């Protein structure tokens, strides 16, 4: 055993002649959160499927919890929990019945399973809806139930495929809190996401997947150093205002698409924004449009690959 919960090397996978994973190496330390970031079709789910024994790689090696996924499938499965991209709850059952079913599948004795099910319902704030059919659950409730089902049996390594896609901001934060709690208990989390912000907030390490290759890997801080920071976007009514602003401001770049726009590097905080506006105000320069822009997945892809993520998607 090493301190790696997950270690993959030279992972390759193709569907017929379409190469989806083209030599992936990754290493996830025990008790940390690793986030695989990528747009639609990048190969995130395929990676999870291979790491969780649901799919065989064409080549390469993977060890999860110290076991080889190809030859020690059972041992790997005993150590992990997987919450897929699409909720695996049975719609004809209630929330409680879904959890009970999981406990039965894990071979838990009845007294223990009752306790575990009640605990999980409570932890995920689902006790009140426990007796309702899951068809009546909202997307966020289903996602929570799905994760609760994954936690039955206390897996030490958990794979979450886009756990917050489609959730509203509040449910997303709830999910983040639950994930952080799990890590505080020593669980290792491997999660995929399309949101740079999510990876940034949660992950100890992030890997960026693009067309089957990891184009960057590192801590959030290391990655952010490679991408342009946040900026304030100023749009002026005409050339006169624009020209005046260019004389007043010391640090800015032009926008590639809109001639009347300047981008001013900024942390986006209230203080620096106020200073910037006061500076323009002092010269009576009117701003037509104003917005604070924080880097998103597109900026990451543009910086790392020279292409936007939507162009990857179109392929
Ligand atoms: N069973 C399959 N047969 C053929 N091609 C597949 C199959 N599963 C996935 N693919 C293709 O492999 C590529 C990667 O798919 P994958 O589901 O891993 O992407 P993803 O990063 O999870 O995307 P998303 O964000 O949309 O979930 C896609 O181009 C997809 O069309
Ligand atoms: Mg997917």
Ligand 1 neighbour 15 (Cβ under 6 A): yes
Over the stretch 207-260, which tens digit does the pLDDT of each residue have? Answer: 999 889 999 899 988 887 777 778 899 999 999 999 999 999 999 988 878 999
CA of 123 to the centre of ligand 2 (A): 27
Asked if residue 173 has pLDDT above 70, the reply is yes
Ligand 1 neighbour 46 (Cβ under 6 A): yes
Of the bound ligands, which one is closest to the alpha carbon of residue 46? Answer: 1
Q: Which of 3-12, 240-249, 273-282, 286-295 has the lowest mean pLDDT?
A: 286-295
Over the stretch 42-81, which tens digit does the pLDDT of each residue have? Answer: 999 999 999 999 999 999 999 999 999 999 999 999 999 9
CATH of domain 4-89+137-226: 3.40.50.300
pLDDT of residue 295: 75
217 within 8 A of 26, measured Cβ to Cβ: yes
Asked if residue 12 has pLDDT above 80, the reply is yes
Class of domain 231-293: alpha beta
pLDDT band of residue 313 (cuts 50, 70, 90) is very low
Ligand 1 neighbour 17 (Cβ under 6 A): no
Q: Helices (DSSP H) in the chain: which residue ranges? A: 44-51, 73-79, 95-105, 110-123, 139-151, 169-184, 196-202, 220-226, 239-248, 270-282, 297-305, 309-314
- Between CA 298 and CA 34, with CA 85 as vertex, the angle to 5 degrees is 60
- The full set of domain ranges for the chain reads 4-89+137-226, 231-293
Over the stretch 134-159, which tens digit does the pLDDT of each residue have? Answer: 999 988 899 899 999 999 989 999 99
The structure's pTM equals 0.81
pLDDT of residue 176: 93
Over the stretch 83-102, which tens digit does the pLDDT of each residue have? Answer: 988 878 888 899 999 999 99
CA of 14 to the centre of ligand 2 (A): 15
């Amino acid at each position: 055993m090493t301190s790696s919960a997950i270690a993959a090397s030279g992972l390759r996978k193709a569907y017929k002649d379409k190469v989806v994973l083209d030599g992936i190496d990754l290493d996830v330390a025990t008790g940390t959160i690793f986030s695989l970031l990528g747009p639609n079709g990048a190969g995130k789910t395929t990676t999870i499927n291979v790491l969780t024994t649901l799919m065989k790689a064409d080549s390469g090696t993977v060890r999860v919890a110290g076991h080889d996924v190809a030859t020690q499938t059972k041992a790997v499965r005993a150590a992990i929990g997987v919450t897929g991209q699409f909720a695996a709850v049975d719609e004809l059952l209630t929330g409680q019945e879904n959890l009970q079913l999981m406990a039965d599948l894990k071979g838990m004795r009845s007294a223990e399973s009752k306790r575990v099910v009640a605990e999980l319902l409570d932890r995920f704030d689902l006790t009140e809806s426990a007796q309702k059919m899951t068809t009546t659950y909202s997307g966020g409730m289903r996602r929570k139930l799905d994760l609760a089902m994954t936690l039955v049996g206390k897996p030490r390594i958990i794979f979450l495929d886009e756990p917050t896609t489609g959730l509203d901001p509040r449910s997303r934060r709830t999910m983040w809190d639950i994930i952080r709690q799990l890590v505080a208990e020593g669980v290792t989390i491997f999660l995929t996401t399309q949101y740079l912000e999510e990876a940034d907030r949660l992950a100890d390490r992030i890997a960026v997947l693009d067309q089957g290759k990891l184009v960057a890997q590192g801590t959030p801080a290391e990655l952010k150093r490679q991408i342009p920071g946040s900026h304030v976007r100023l749009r002026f009514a005409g050339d006169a205002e624009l020209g005046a602003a260019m004389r007043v401001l010391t640090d800015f770049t032009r926008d590639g698409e809109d001639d009347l726009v300047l981008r001013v590097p900024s942390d986006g905080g209230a203080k620096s924004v106020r200073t910037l506006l006061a500076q323009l105000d002092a010269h009576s320069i009117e701003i037509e449009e104003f917005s604070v822009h924080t880097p998103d997945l597109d900026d990451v892809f543009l910086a790392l690959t020279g292409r936007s993520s939507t162009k990857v998607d179109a392929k």
